[in-house]
Structure 1
Amino acid sequence: MVKILHTSDLHFGRPAVAAQLDSLKGSIAEISPDAVAVSGDLTQRCSTSEFLKARAYLDSIEEIAPVIVIPGNHDVRWIGAVARQLGAVGLVGRSAHDFKYSKYIRYISPELNPSLEIPGAVIASCNTAHGIARGSLTRRFRDLGVIGHVNKRDLKKVEEAFSKAAPDAARIVMIHHNPIKGETSGRHGLANTKQALEAFERLGAELVLCGHDHQEAVHTVQEYAPGIVISTAGTISNRLRAGRPSSFNLVTIDDTELRITTYAWQHPEGFAPAREHSFPRSAASRSA
């Protein structure tokens, strides 16, 4: 059995809650997962001090289990994203791209699309946090810089990671933005949800890990990517949707079943199992 603890949206800075972060770390030690997946938004304002706190926290988790992490929209320097599109302030092309992610690269990881293979599973990340970018534009002004998208270059990273993995490994994609419309927010996190999920399905993914919406949710996709399961982790910060507690998800996978258990914050006891979803694994996914 494979155990992956999936958390997201830690938001180091003002929204961070020390008690919840400590409880999350305690849960990781107690559960002893095979891997910890952190699907973005480590910081609130992309500041150096916030990244330093996030780095120290990730280091402490890595003493317990391997960690895979990707950037979220709050981890991108917006001025670099604008410069990338406009060629402004003397930053053009690759230089603007590097500046946009410079703090994340310096303090968290130089790899924006990391992958991690553990016995029984491979997690391939696909960066969706591009800031203000053409692929992320929608008709709604409020989406500017908040919505993400999946591009072909980053999909190639997923394809490469899957091709190198063991044939019987469960294939998992991690992104930041939620491809399923949030129950409370009423919007998708991706500008190209349909194309992204179709691409993941073609590559053989059976599970997508994401965050961004600050609301825990578990879905299956039937319309354009049949059988893919979506694990949306809630936030560990105080930036909560109305009536929703802080939470994380625990994914367990065996030969026949994929199970997702949501652990919700129950002060003062800490995080505790709140609900569980189970899905049968298809014969194709088990012999991919």
Structure 2
Amino acid sequence: MFRLAHISDIHLGPLPAVTYRELASKRAVGYVNWQRNRRRYLHDGVIDAIVSDLKAKNPDHLAVTGDLVNLALDGEIELAKLWLEMVGKPEDVSVVPGNHDAYVPGAFDKICRAWGPWMAGDGQNAPVDRHGFPYLRVRGQVALIGVSSARATAPFMANGFFREEQAHRLGSMLDDAGKRGLCRVVMIHHPPVRSAVAQHKRLFGIRRFQKIIACHGAELVLHGHSHEPSLFWIGKRGSTRVPVVGVAAAGQAPGGSKPAAQYNLIDISGEAGAWDIRLSRHGLTGAAMPPSEIMALDLTNAHETVGR
């Protein structure tokens, strides 16, 4: 059995000192939002509790589906690198970037230089760049494929993008992994399904992504961005359907408008054509409680949309 852990939307804080020059951009909006809202509910103590509990479950690998930082300040990017070093070795942790990681023009290149070892495919030299996505890593019987939907956007927008060039490479990787009899897990920040988030946060290229999955096949899709422990499906009833799994923000303290911090554990066993994939959600259920198991589900036989 292969045990894969999944967290997302870390939003490490507190913010480092910010200069007026750095705020002369979209960051001004994000800074105000942080001061008014996010800093009250996104806490390092919560993240530490989640990671500590996660590590106690002894997963074989950890998938981090984006938004490690808030405004993509240089200090935040370096802090996130130190955090990744604490969480696990690059060969044991796979990261895909989120919209906050590419918050302003130029930020994406900086995170690639800083976090490259955690975003590089097998045999790929770090640092990577946006042309290095998707990347492919094989761990045991599992193929981990990291897709980037991150791109700098205008103020008040948090959209993601999945373009044709990346779609072509993803299809080739899925075909190759399928021929090798691997369980294919695709990681992306923005949910590749409709109605999962508001219009100003949605992924452009949902139809393209779903078409690639339908044509080339996959066993599981993991995402973040929505801050919701959700479950959707790609594919029509009566045919092979691919589960699309979201997770609550890893730094979310209880008491906010979103569910408190959680992580997913995905246990994968079986073989090509007969994979058994089981999902369990673990997280905070009260202000003073340690993380605990919230629910468990057999994804091989479940076919209903599950929200909060």
TM-score by length of 2: 0.73
Say whether 1:23 aligns with 2:23.
no
Say whether 1:60 aligns with 2:72.
no
Aligned residue for 2:149? 128
Say whether 1:202 aligns with 2:215.
yes
Say whether 1:258 aligns with 2:282.
no
Identity of aligned residues (%): 21
Say whether 1:103 aligns with 2:103.
no
**Contact conserved, 1:12 with 1:51, CA < 8 A, in 2?**
no
* Separation of aligned partners in 2, 1:158 and 1:2: 23
* Separation of aligned partners in 2, 1:76 and 1:243: 23
Deviations 1:111-137 (A, max 9, x none): 35232211111111111112239xxxx
* Separation of aligned partners in 2, 1:186 and 1:102: 27
Aligned residue for 2:167? 155
Among 187, 204, 207, the alignment partner of 1:191 is 204
Tell me the CA shift for residue 49 of structure 1: 1.6
* Number of equivalences: 252
**Contact conserved, 1:251 with 1:259, CA < 8 A, in 2?**
yes
* Separation of aligned partners in 2, 1:223 and 1:252: 24
Q: Secondary structure at the match of 1:248?
A: strand
1:41/1:243 CA distance change after superposition, 3 Å: closer
* Separation of aligned partners in 2, 1:64 and 1:268: 32
Aligned residue for 2:259? 244
Deviations 1:15-44 (A, max 9, x none): 441222212221232111111000011100
The farther-off stretch of 154-163 and 200-209 is 154-163
Corresponding letter in the other structure for 1:261? S
Point out where structure 1 has 5 or more consecutive residues left out of the alignment. 81-98, 134-140, 282-288
* Separation of aligned partners in 2, 1:194 and 1:164: 22
* Separation of aligned partners in 1, 2:269 and 2:263: 20
Corresponding letter in the other structure for 2:52? G
The farther-off stretch of 22-31 and 233-242 is 233-242
Deviations 1:154-203 (A, max 9, x none): 224433443554722101111100123466x5557312212211212222
Aligned residue for 2:102? 76
Corresponding letter in the other structure for 1:72? G
Say whether 1:277 aligns with 2:297.
yes
1:198/1:239 CA distance change after superposition, 3 Å: farther
What stretches of structure 1 move > 6 A for 4+ residues in a row? none
Matches within 5 A, 1:158-173: 158-165=170-177, 167-173=180-186
Corresponding letter in the other structure for 1:218? L
1:169/1:25 CA distance change after superposition, 3 Å: same
**Contact conserved, 1:182 with 1:213, CA < 8 A, in 2?**
no
TM-score by length of 1: 0.78
**Contact conserved, 1:124 with 1:157, CA < 8 A, in 2?**
no
